[in-house]
Structures are given as C-alpha cells and as structure tokens.
Structure 1
Amino acid sequence: MAEENGNGQAVDEKNGGKRLNKRQRGAIILAILCIGSAVFGVHQWVKSKTHIETDNAFIESHVHSVSSRIPALVKRVAVVDNQFVHKGDLLVELDTSDYQARAETAAAALDLARNETAGDAAQLEGARATVGLAKARLEQAEIDLKRAEALFAKEVIPREQLDKLKTARTVAQMQLRESQEGERRAQATLGMTSQGKKDAKVAQRQSQLAEAKLSLSYTRIVAVSDGYITKKSVEPGNYVQPGQPLMALVSLQDSWVTANYKESQLTDVRPGQRVEFSVDAYPGLSFRGNVESLMAGTGAAFSLLPPENATGNYVKVVQRVPVRIAIDAASDPNHLLRVGMSVVPTILTGKSFRQVLGL
C-alpha cells in the first residue's frame, strides 16, 4: 500500500521505494511531447524540402478538333461518343456527288487541253516554217540588191531596176516581221514562255484535276491519331461548312499533368526529377512520372488580363508556375486517367537530410 510522506512523495511500503509525484510525472510527459513534436516538426520540414506537393494539378492531353475541310452534306457518321478509334479509322463520310462530278469535269478538260495543245503545236511548227521562208527571201533580196548596186555603179542597169530591188528588200523585211509575230502568237497559244516552257494549258488543267481529286478525298474524314471520341455534334443529313467542329478526338497515349506550384516551392525543382501522384478518382492507387519542364512564366502573366503592378496599389501575391509532368505509361497500363481529373503530385527532389540542413 502506497502512502504519501511529508514531502508529498508517494511511498510504496511493500517495495520500500518512492514513486514520482504528479508534478514530476506531468513534467516528464510534457518533455516527451515537446521532444516528439520537435522531431515531427523537423521531419515534416525536411520532407517539405524533399517532397514538393500541391493539390492544384490536373490531367491534360492532346485534344484534336475534328472538322470538315469542304462544304458538303453528311452521308454517314461512323462513330459514337466515347468510342476508341485507331489512327486512320473513318469518322465521318460526306456526300461525294458534287466533288466526283468536278473531278470528272476536270479530267475531261485535261484531255481537251491535250488535244488543243497538239493542234497548237502544229500551228507553231507552221509559223516557224513561215519565219524560215521569210528569212530566206530577205537574204535573197539583200544579195540581189548588193549585186544591183554594183551594176548600177558601172551604169549597167537603170535606177528604176535598183529601186525595185530596194523595195523588194523592204517587203522581205516586213514579211519576216509578220511571220515572227505569227510565231510568237502561236507560242502564246501553246503556252510557251520566254524560258522555253510549254504545255501551260495542260499544266493548268492538271492542277485543276489534282485540286478536284484532293477535294474528293476530303469527303472521308479520318482519325489523325489513336484516341477517344467526345463532344460529337454531327449527324447524317447535316450540311457542314469548312472549319465547323464536328467532334473532338482525345489521345490518352501521351497525357501529362499540369501542376501549378507556388513559386516559393520551385527552388529545388529541376526537369527529370521523379514524381509520384495520386488521383481523386482512384484512391489508394499511385502513379509515377517525371518533371518534363517548367513554364516560362507564371499563370497570371499569360492570363487574359495580366496584372498591372505598376499602377494602383500593389499587393504582393504568391504566384503559381505551371510545371509539366510526363506520366509514366507503365504506371497506367489500362489508361485509367482522363483529361481534367484532379491530381496531387509530389516531386521528389532527391536531396538528403544533410543537404536540407546545409551540413
């Protein structure tokens, strides 16, 4: 049985020893709590330097807007919302009637241009022959004139005959000019330029045919990558215009996390550091990734209305810098992550306890 002595200490009569009083026990318990709190506080402070965490983060990915490149009537829609498609799969088929007719018209125009070009080529050859004949006549006229001038100097022929030969040379010169103009007209008709290129009509019709075939190919709208269909807003019978959004294609193969860290948290953050993150939709699951890059500015700097700190009253606000985190595909083999999901990423800086304390 324990009794208290005159000093207030508890005495154990059976064991003959003394026990601590209430004040001493309270002091010991308080000391233990203080030491424990200090150890826990240091541990949390060190962890905050080696494990950089934020809850302002979301899943993002490439979202391809699917639209038509030509105006046409929708003939068939081959997909539904949330359907997975592979690259090259047909999404929407447009009516081909108008564009098929245009392609056939362009092909016929090309054949006609080739036939016309053959006739124009024959005309050009005839014009060239006429030029050659005119040159020969001019050369002969000049020879006859020189011979007549020599004979006239010796008074063998009269002046009248000399004048006739001069006139004949002038006529030959005019005929040569006329034939050369005819050759140029034939070249222009054929489409030859000063650089010697020809068949301009054929080239023009070939370009029109290629354009018509290209427009015809646009009647089949296919997936540009693997992904899931969402925001489908097109149905058979709709008339669509170029650039009109028909649906969106979300690729989950190369998703990433955009984490908006406080600027004060980025002191030791570097590209390549490991990241572990959890997603609210899948409690208990952990995903992995690595820091890919840091944005060149804060989110506020690139907002629609960036702050003007040089005007008015300035209030300092801690800014957030978007950090792009690449997701390790091996940690999400079933593609559970979806665009917009809330994420809590933790960047592992790799600093040791000594480095944090500066030892």
Structure 2
Amino acid sequence: MSKPFRSAATILALTAGLTGAATVLYVWNLPPFRNSVQMTNDAYVRGQVTLLSPQLAGYLVDVPVRDYQRVRRGDLIARIDDRIFVQKLEQAKAALEAAQAELSNSEQSQKSAEAKILSAKASVESAEAAREAARAGAARSENLLKSNITPQSEAEKSRAAFDQAKAAVHQAEAAELVAEQDLNSIVVGRRSLQASVESARAAVRLAEIDVSHTRITAPKDGTLGEITGRVGQSVSAGTQIGSIVEDEVWVVANFKETQFAGLQAGHEVTFTVDALENKPFKGRIERFAPATGSEFSVIKADNATGNFTKVAQRIPVRIFIDRNQDEVERLVPGMSVVAQVDVAQTAPDPAIPKR
C-alpha cells in the first residue's frame, strides 16, 4: 500500500478512536464534557401500598369490592361472620351488669352496717345508763346494809345487778366493735367489687372492638389492588385479602455518590416517565436518605475480605411531584423514571408545598 493511503487510513482510525472516546466521555458526563446537569435512570415512582388483612379469625361473609376499584376512607372491603363476637359482647355486658349489681348490693350493705353501728352505739349508751343505775342501787344497798336497814340478800342482789350491768356494757361495746369491723370489711370488699366492675367494663370494650374488627374497611382514600378474599374463605389474623394504593405518590431517584455534592433540598427536578412515552414532569428535591442504599440491604457487602473493586454507591433522593401538571394523576407506584437536576440553578427554596 502506498504511503498516502497508509496515512489516510491512520488518520481515519485516529479520528474514529477520538470520536468514540469523546462520545463515551460525553455520555458518562466526564471531563472535558462535564456539565451542571446530574441525571439518573435509577429512579421510580413510589407510593404507599397498604396490605389489607383482618385482625380476627373467621369466615368471610361479604366482599363487596372488586379489583382496582376506587374507594373512600371507611368503605367496607370485607366482613367476617360476627355472630360469635356479638354473643361474646352480650355475655360481657351481662357480666358487667352482674358486677354492677354486686357493687350496688355492697353499697346497700354498707348503709346497713352504718345503721348497725348507730344501733350498737345506742345500746352502749343504754347499757352505760343501766350500769350507772345499778351502781347507784348497789351503793344504796351497801349503806343500808351498814345501817342494818336492809338484809344481806338485798345487798347481794344489788351487787349482782351492778355486775350484770357492767357485763352488758362490755357486751354492747363488743357489739359496736363487731359492727365497725363489718363496715370495714364491706368497704374493703367494695374495692374488689369496683375492680371487678372495671374489669367487666374493659371486657365489654374489648368485645366491642372485636365486633368492629369484623368489618375490614379502607384506611384511606385510594385504589384497590387485587382482592384475594372470597366469600366463605376462612381467614386468620394477618391473612392478606387485598391491598390499597393511596393517592399520594413521589419519586425516589438513586443518584451516585459522585453526583451528590451539588444536590440540595428544594432544587427543581425534571423527570420523564417511560410508561407515558417519556412525558416530562416537574418536581423538587424534598429530602435525602440518611445512608446509601447498600446500608439498608439485608446482606451487606464485606469489603475487608478478598480483592476490592471500588463501586460508586447510590444515595436515594425523595422528589416531590408538583400537582398542577397534566396527567400527573396517571403516575402510579413502580413506574420507571429518568430524573435530571441542574445543580447550577439559583438558590433553592427548601419549602415544600403542603399536600
């Protein structure tokens, strides 16, 4: 081959090589083609997907909703046979009434015991009066005996009457003490009965909660996913019977750590959605993850063993989606997104509008 042809081929090869290298540098945003726009295609629409499951075991008797149906908060999703739980509620109410009746009887017993104490005090006063009268009679008999006016037998009768009167006082005082102890026992017992009433009342509340849990309702406004619960199906606590996707959505973009330096909360973000023919949407950076995605993985890499190859980690960034845009209501969790942020934009406003 002649020298001119060899020179032309060399120039062509060098040109192709330089063009390829420049293309790679441009695509990967490397010097000298680095610009202020940071882009990632590791981004997705996210939302709150809530799994629906019962808190009780039983048979489903009603599932009035269908797959992908729009529901409002409180709408019935499914209903469990509540007959057993209703009867348990009635049983708990009956136990509460019985406990309240026992407490009322205790209150009446307390009033009766208080009346017995008053009666016992009156008996003590009467016995003391009789004792004083017997004391005076015995004293007179002793004086008359000394004067030989009354016989010895009469004096002995007076002393015996006085002794009986003193015993009657002791008996009346003991009866008063017994009545007071009975009152104390009733008061102490009332505390136990009051605790029984509170326990029965709590059992009624628990039974009411169980009855309410036989109705599985939508926790918030949203759209149902696939409903797997069927009428007649036996379910237990935690059995998944469906899911609901709430209306609020956002974007999580995973930027490489080498792109992270210029990102700030409030920066405007432009992103396109693959499912909507790359239609562009706008949003703003809301906040950043507290760690890279690898730190949240179940099995973390151990870089202290074997050979090491440095891999750029990614940091999740939550992006608020502006609501006043066309077709924003078509964004659903899981859609793939390509997000771009110009870090050279003016100072961002970190305030995010309230939803």
Q: TM-score range by the shorter chain?
A: 0.7 to 0.9
For residues 46-101 of structure 1, give each alpha carbon's deviation from its aligned partner in whole angstroms, at most 9, with x where no partner exists: 98542211011111111111111222210011112222212121110111211222
| Number of the residue aligned with 1:183 | 183
User: 5 Å matches for 1:43-192?
Assistant: 49-138=35-124, 164=164, 167-189=167-189, 191-192=190-191
Higher helix share: 2
| Residue 215 of structure 1: how far off its partner (Å) | 1.6
> Aligned residue pairs: how many?
312
TM-score (norm 1): 0.74
Q: Distance in 2 between matches of 1:106 and 1:133?
A: 41
Q: Distance in 1 between matches of 2:115 and 2:331?
A: 79
Identity of aligned residues (%): 30
Residue 306 (structure 1) aligned with residue 300 (structure 2): yes
Q: Give the RMSD, CA atoms, in angstroms.
A: 3.6
Q: Unaligned stretches of 5+ in structure 1? A: 1-22, 353-359
| Residue 151 of structure 1: how far off its partner (Å) | 9.9
Residue 215 (structure 1) aligned with residue 201 (structure 2): no
Indicate which of 329, 346, 351 corresponds to 1:335: 329
| Number of the residue aligned with 1:250 | 245
Q: Distance in 2 between matches of 1:70 and 1:46?
A: 64
| Number of the residue aligned with 1:241 | 236
Determine helix, strand or coil for the equivalent of 2:338.
Answer: strand
Contact 1:57 1:345 in 2 (8 A): yes
For residues 139-164 of structure 1, give each alpha carbon's deviation from its aligned partner in whole angstroms, at most 9, with x where no partner exists: 56567778988999997798766655
| Residue 326 of structure 1: how far off its partner (Å) | 1.5
Determine helix, strand or coil for the equivalent of 2:330.
Answer: coil
Determine helix, strand or coil for the equivalent of 1:306.
Answer: coil
TM-score (norm 2): 0.74
* Structure 1 residues 279 and 136: alpha-carbon distance in aligned structure 2, compared to 1, 3 A threshold: same
Aligned-partner residue type, residue 340 of structure 1: G
For residues 191-246 of structure 1, give each alpha carbon's deviation from its aligned partner in whole angstroms, at most 9, with x where no partner exists: 347xxxx8555444333323222221212111011112124221100121122221
Determine helix, strand or coil for the equivalent of 1:174.
Answer: helix
Q: Distance in 2 between matches of 1:146 and 1:301?
A: 96
Indicate which of 216, 222, 225 corresponds to 1:227: 222
Contact 2:267 2:345 in 1 (8 A): no
Determine helix, strand or coil for the equivalent of 1:54.
Answer: strand
User: 5 Å matches for 1:13-52?
Assistant: 49-52=35-38
Q: Unaligned stretches of 5+ in structure 2? A: 1-7, 144-154, 347-355
| Residue 310 of structure 1: how far off its partner (Å) | 4.7
* Structure 1 residues 171 and 307: alpha-carbon distance in aligned structure 2, compared to 1, 3 A threshold: farther
